[in-house]
Chain A
Amino acid sequence: MASGNRSQTAQGLTLITPPFAYAVLVLAAPLLTILAYSFFKDGYLTVIREFTLENYSTVWADPIFHRIMLRSLVVAALVTLVTVVLAFPVAYFLSFVVAPQRKSMWLFLITIPFWTSYLIRVFLWKVILGYNGVINSGLKTLGIIEQPLTFILYNVNSMVITLAHAYAPFAILPIFIALEKIDRSLLEAGRDLGESRAMTFWRVTLPLAMPGVVAASLIVFIPTIGDYVTPALIGGGKIPMIANMIQAQMLDLDNRPLGSALAVTAMLIVALISLIFLALNWRFLKVRQ
Chain B
Amino acid sequence: MKGRGLRAYALIYLLFLYAPILLLPIFAFNSGTVIAFPLRGITTEWFAQMWGNASLRRALFNSLTIAVSSSVLATCLGIFAARASTRFEFPGKGPIMGLIMLPLVLPEIIVSISLLVVLLSLGVKLSVLTVIIGHTLICMPYATVILSTAFNSLDRSLEEAAYDLGETRWSAFRLVILPLVMPGIISSLLMSFTISLDEFIIAFFLAGNEPTLPTYIFSQLRFPKQIPAIMALGTVLVLLSVVLLTIAEYFRRRGIARTGAKDTGGFL
Q: Which residues of A contact B96 (CB under 8 A)?
A: 16, 20
Q: Is B77 positioned at the interface, with any CB of A under 8 Å from its CB?
A: yes
Q: Which residues of B contact A250 (CB under 8 A)?
A: 113, 116-117
Q: Is B223 positioned at the interface, with any CB of A under 8 Å from its CB?
A: no
* Given known A125-B20, A141-B38, contact A116–B84 (CB-CB < 8 A): no
Are the CB atoms of A219 and B105 closer together than 8 Å? yes
Rounded to whole angstroms, the CA-CA distance of A111 and B9 in the bound complex is 17
Query: Contact check: which of B3, B37, B88 meets A9 at CB < 8 Å?
Result: B88
Rounded to whole angstroms, the CA-CA distance of A247 and B110 in the bound complex is 10
Q: Which residues of A contact B27 (CB under 8 A)?
A: 127
Interface residues of B, dominant DSSP: helix
Interface residues of A, dominant DSSP: helix
Q: Is A207 positioned at the interface, with any CB of B under 8 Å from its CB?
A: no
Which of B107, B108, B144, B267 has the most A CB atoms < 10 Å from its CB?
B107
* Total residue contacts A-B, CB cutoff 8 A: 245
Q: Which residues of A contact B93 (CB under 8 A)?
A: 12, 16
Query: Contact check: which of A8, A93, A225, A233 meets B107 at CB < 8 Å?
Result: A225
Residues of chain A in range 98-151 having any CB-CB distance to chain B below 8 Å: 103-104, 106-113, 115-121, 123-125, 127-128, 132-134, 137-138, 141
Residues of chain B in range 1-59 having any CB-CB distance to chain A below 8 Å: 2-3, 6-7, 9-10, 13-14, 16-21, 23-24, 27, 34-38
Q: Is A246 positioned at the interface, with any CB of B under 8 Å from its CB?
A: yes
Q: Is B81 positioned at the interface, with any CB of A under 8 Å from its CB?
A: yes
Q: Is A267 positioned at the interface, with any CB of B under 8 Å from its CB?
A: yes
Are the CB atoms of A173 and B266 closer together than 8 Å? yes
Distance in angstroms from A126 CB to nearest chain B CB is: 9
Q: Mark contacts of A47-90 with chain B using CB atoms, 8 A cut-off: 1 yes-contact digit, 0 otherwise.
A: 10000000000000000000000000000000000000010011
* Given known A23-B100, A24-B99, A138-B37, contact A111–B23 (CB-CB < 8 A): no
* Given known A120-B237, A138-B37, A165-B16, contact A256–B117 (CB-CB < 8 A): yes
* Given known A19-B80, A34-B117, contact A111–B266 (CB-CB < 8 A): yes
Are the CB atoms of A229 and B201 closer together than 8 Å? yes
Rounded to whole angstroms, the CA-CA distance of A118 and B100 in the bound complex is 23
Are the CB atoms of A246 and B14 closer together than 8 Å? no
Q: Mark contacts of B184-225 with chain A using CB atoms, 8 A cut-off: 1 yes-contact digit, 0 otherwise.
A: 000000000011001011000100000000100110010000
Q: Please, which residue of chain A has its CB at the minimum distance from the CB of B169?
A: A11
Distance in angstroms from B78 CB to nearest chain A CB is: 7
Are the CB atoms of A228 and B100 closer together than 8 Å? no
Q: Mark contacts of A11-25 with chain B using CB atoms, 8 A cut-off: 1 yes-contact digit, 0 otherwise.
A: 111011111101110
Q: Mark contacts of B248-268 with chain A using CB atoms, 8 A cut-off: 1 yes-contact digit, 0 otherwise.
A: 010001000000000111111
Are the CB atoms of A27 and B137 closer together than 8 Å? yes
Q: Which residues of A contact B245 (CB under 8 A)?
A: 108, 111-112, 115
Q: Please, which residue of chain A has its CB at the minimum distance from the CB of B87?
A: A12
* Given known A26-B133, A93-B10, A117-B241, contact A226–B108 (CB-CB < 8 A): yes
Q: Is A282 positioned at the interface, with any CB of B under 8 Å from its CB?
A: no
Are the CB atoms of B36 and A132 closer together than 8 Å? yes
Are the CB atoms of B3 and A97 closer together than 8 Å? yes
Q: Which residues of B contact A111 (CB under 8 A)?
A: 245, 266-268
Pairs A–B under 8 Å by Cβ, sample size 20: A9-B91, A19-B144, A20-B99, A27-B102, A27-B111, A34-B114, A103-B265, A108-B245, A112-B242, A120-B230, A124-B21, A125-B20, A127-B27, A134-B35, A134-B36, A137-B36, A138-B37, A165-B20, A263-B114, A267-B110
Taking A19-B100, A137-B36 as given, write out 6 further A-B residue pairs in contact, using a Cβ cutoff of 8 Å, ordered by the A residue number: A34-B117, A47-B121, A120-B234, A133-B35, A134-B36, A168-B16
| Residues of chain A at the chain B interface (Cβ within 8 Å) | 8-9, 11-13, 15-20, 22-24, 26-31, 33-34, 37, 47, 86, 89-90, 92-94, 96-97, 103-104, 106-113, 115-121, 123-125, 127-128, 132-134, 137-138, 141, 165, 168-169, 173, 176, 180, 218-219, 222-223, 225-229, 233, 243, 246-247, 250-251, 256, 259-260, 263, 267
